[in-house]
């Protein structure tokens, strides 16, 4: 029958008005400005979405809510289904702006030029939110909406490739687009340090101070780089105070909790800890799958879902490794002119899949297994005590970490209470020497490695 017989467009309009009242404006813009009413069928509303990624995300997040609202409005069970189609030009433009109210027509704003320090692909709409990052993502959205008023300062921390730079630059891009005359500075801690050193050489420190103390939004990536750089820390401390006293927003990223930065002044550490500290964890399977789907949709490349499932199950470390796997498959398909199949994926990605980094084994997991075996606490291995009852298990844990993971000596040392990489190298040497004199040590090591790997496969 024709769409005119079943026309549920009125119910659709009212349902999204109700949803808008119950979620944040940023969340509404992110998801519902990318949906259009398409048509109606018998007890069915068909919605148009720009990609299968959006379809899957909306279904997961809002389908039950939508159908419950439609039931209340119509008195009937109305199913919601989706078709993937490109949005109309008008809708694409409106999805980039925040409406003043559902009833008011959208006032079109001239598109701003991209911020010169920010990558235009780092936006909230392209950041896949899962259980591992929802707190950090929602905090970032709130900051972008009200810079200087919500969660100031904010520190986002986590390992390599988990999305710290994506989030901090998304804050900048969102604020740049939504606020007129806002002054934003994005910089890495390394560049901040280099600029400060150069200003000393040029006797132009006053220009450096004015540059960073007059901003509305300061974004500094990788503050762990500031360790042992005392003068730069001092300068950032005064910059921090000037901006904080003026209610200007600051956001920082770090590769670990700020409490674990051993060579950072206590007063600067206290400033970082003053505000909101949020962490990013490695993505779970569902989030990894969604990330891959989004990237495939963006590239418009036909890749079977069984291949996506294969990558998501075998690449567990971080987003960067997921992107690497996808890039390799796409490059192979382009260069040899072959379709991407499950067999092709298994063959081309076999080295990545066998990488110890993908085995779900973390240093924390190794520490806990060793601590349990020797009747110690997890903190004993990370602490400063050097008694033989603790020193030997600590050295053994460092040795095993180097044997079954690809963490560097620097990364291992960091996770053992911020020790230097030479300490890890010394520990590995001591265990190798002891293996020659103690025939029972090698079987013990292999037993521990098996136990850790078995635990890793269940994690």
Whether the per-residue pLDDT at 236 is higher than 90: the answer is: yes
Whether the per-residue pLDDT at 1 is higher than 60: the answer is: no
**Angle at alpha carbon of residue 439, lines to 389 and 379, rounded to 5°:** 25
Give the tens place of pLDDT for each residue, 365-422. Answer: 899 889 888 888 878 898 888 888 899 999 999 999 988 877 778 888 888 988 888 8
Instruction: Give the CA dihedral 149, 154, 160, 161, nearest 10 degrees.
Output: -10
Whether the per-residue pLDDT at 7 is higher than 60: the answer is: yes
Average pLDDT over residues 154-178: 91
Cα–Cα distance between 86 and 390 in angstroms, integer? 62
CA distances from 107 to 31, 33, 90, 409 (A): 19, 14, 12, 56
> What pLDDT is attached to residue 219?
97
How is the beta sheet containing 276-280 ordered, strand by strand? 184-188, 217-221, 249-254, 154-158, 276-280
Average pLDDT over residues 333-356: 79
> Confidence class of residue 161 from pLDDT cuts 50, 70 and 90?
confident
Average pLDDT over residues 270-285: 87
Q: Specify the higher pLDDT residue, 194 or 405.
A: 194
Chain mean pLDDT for the chain:
83
Give the tens place of pLDDT for each residue, 74-130. Answer: 788 888 888 887 555 444 444 444 333 333 443 445 567 889 999 988 999 888 888
Considering 215-229, 277-291, 333-347, the range whose residues carry the highest mean pLDDT is: 215-229
> Confidence class of residue 53 from pLDDT cuts 50, 70 and 90?
low
Considering 43-52, 218-227, 401-410, the range whose residues carry the highest mean pLDDT is: 218-227
Whether the per-residue pLDDT at 351 is higher than 70: the answer is: yes
> Confidence class of residue 358 from pLDDT cuts 50, 70 and 90?
low
Cβ neighbours around 158 below 10 Å, total: 23
Whether the per-residue pLDDT at 182 is higher than 50: the answer is: yes
Give the tens place of pLDDT for each residue, 415-453. Answer: 898 888 889 999 999 999 998 888 888 888 888 887 787
> What pLDDT is attached to residue 4?
47
Average pLDDT over residues 283-308: 83
Cα–Cα distance between 297 and 294 in angstroms, integer? 5
Cβ neighbours around 341 below 10 Å, total: 14
Least confident of 141-145, 238-242, 276-280, 299-303: 299-303
Cα–Cα distance between 375 and 310 in angstroms, integer? 39
> What pLDDT is attached to residue 359?
55
Whether the per-residue pLDDT at 62 is higher than 70: the answer is: yes
Average pLDDT over residues 308-313: 87
Do residues 365 and 316 lie in contact, with contact meaning Cβ atoms separated by under 8 Å?
A: no
DSSP collapsed to 3 states, the chain: CCCCCCCCHHHHHHHHHHHHHHCCHHHHHHHHHHCEEEEEECCEEEEEECCHHHHHHHHHHHHHHHHHHHHHHHCCCCEEEEEECCCCHHHHHHCCCCCCCCCCCCCCCCCCCCCCCCCCCCCHHHCCCCCCCHHHHHHHHHHHHCCCCCCCCEEEEECCCCCHHHHHHHHHHHHHHHCCCCCEEEEEHHHHHHHHHHHHHCCCHHHHHHHHHCCCEEEEECHHHHCCCHHHHHHHHHHHHHHHHCCCEEEEEECCCHHHCCCCCHHHHHHHHHCEEEEECCCCHHHHHHHHHHHHHHHCCCCCHHHHHHHHHHCCCCHHHHHHHHHHHHHHHHHHCCCCCHHHHHHHCHHHHCCHHHCCCCHHHHHHHHHHHHCCCHHHHHCCCCCHHHHHHHHHHHHHHHHHCCCCHHHHHHHCCCCCHHHHHHHHHHHHHHHHHCCCHHHHHHHHHHHHHHHHHHC
> What pLDDT is attached to residue 169?
96
> What pLDDT is attached to residue 282?
79
- Where does residue 338 fall: left (phi above 0), alpha (psi -120 to 50 degrees), or beta otherwise? beta
In the chain, the domains with their CATH numbers are 9-88 (3.30.300.180), 124-280 (3.40.50.300), 285-355 (1.10.8.60), 363-458 (1.10.1750.10)
Do residues 263 and 293 lie in contact, with contact meaning Cβ atoms separated by under 8 Å?
A: no
> What pLDDT is attached to residue 102?
34
| Radius of gyration for the alpha carbons in the chain, expressed in angstroms and rounded | 26
Whether the per-residue pLDDT at 260 is higher than 80: the answer is: no
Residue located via tokens 């996770």: 415
pTM: 0.58
Instruction: Give the CA dihedral 291, 297, 303, 309, nearest 10 degrees.
Output: 20
> What pLDDT is attached to residue 143?
93
């Amino acid at each position: 029958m024709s769409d005119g017989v079943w026309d549920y467009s009125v119910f659709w309009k009212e349902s999204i008005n109700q949803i808008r009242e119950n979620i944040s404006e940023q969340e509404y813009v992110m998801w519902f400005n990318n949906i259009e009413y398409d048509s109606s069928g018998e007890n069915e509303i068909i919605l148009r979405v720009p990609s299968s990624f959006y379809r899957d995300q909306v279904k997961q997040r809002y389908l039950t809510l939508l159908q419950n609202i439609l039931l209340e409005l119509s008195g009937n069970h109305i199913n919601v289904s989706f078709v993937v189609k490109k949005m109309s030009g008008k809708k694409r433009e409106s999805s980039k702006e925040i409406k003043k109210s559902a009833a008011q027509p959208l006032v079109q704003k001239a598109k701003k030029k991209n911020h010169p320090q920010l990558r235009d692909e780092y936006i909230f709409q392209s950041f896949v939110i899962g259980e591992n990052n929802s707190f950090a993502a929602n905090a970032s959205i709130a900051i972008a909406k009200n810079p200087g008023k919500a969660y100031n300062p904010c520190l986002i921390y986590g390992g390599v490739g988990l999305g710290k730079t994506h989030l901090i630059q998304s804050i900048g891009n969102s604020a740049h687009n939504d606020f007129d005359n806002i002054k934003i500075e994005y910089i890495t801690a390394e560049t901040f340090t280099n600029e400060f050193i150069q200003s000393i050489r040029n006797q132009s420190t006053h220009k450096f101070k004015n540059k960073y103390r007059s901003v509305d939004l300061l974004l500094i990536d990788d503050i762990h780089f500031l360790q042992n750089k005392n003068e730069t820390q001092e300068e950032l401390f005064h910059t921090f105070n000037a901006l904080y006293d003026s209610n200007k927003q600051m956001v920082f990223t770090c590769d670990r909790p700020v409490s674990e930065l051993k060579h950072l002044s206590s007063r600067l550490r206290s400033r970082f800890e003053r505000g909101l500290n949020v962490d990013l964890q490695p993505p779970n399977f569902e989030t990894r799958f969604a990330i891959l789907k989004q990237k495939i949709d963006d590239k418009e490349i036909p890749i079977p879902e069984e291949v996506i499932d294969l990558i998501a199950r075998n690449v567990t470390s971080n987003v960067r490794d997921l992107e690497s796997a996808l890039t390799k498959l796409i490059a192979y398909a382009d260069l040899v002119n072959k379709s991407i199949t499950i067999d092709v994926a298994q063959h081309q990605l076999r080295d990545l899949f066998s990488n110890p980094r993908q085995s779900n084994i973390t240093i924390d997991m190794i520490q806990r297994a060793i601590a349990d075996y020797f009747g110690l606490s997890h903190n004993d291995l990370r602490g400063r005590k050097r008694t033989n009852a603790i020193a030997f298990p600590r050295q053994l844990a460092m040795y095993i970490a180097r044997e079954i993971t690809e963490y560097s000596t620097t990364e291992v040392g960091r996770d053992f209470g911020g020790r230097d990489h030479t300490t890890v190298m010394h520990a590995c040497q001591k265990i190798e020497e002891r293996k020659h004199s103690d025939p029972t040590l090698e079987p013990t090591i292999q037993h521990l490695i098996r136990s850790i790997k078995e635990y890793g496969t269940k994690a």
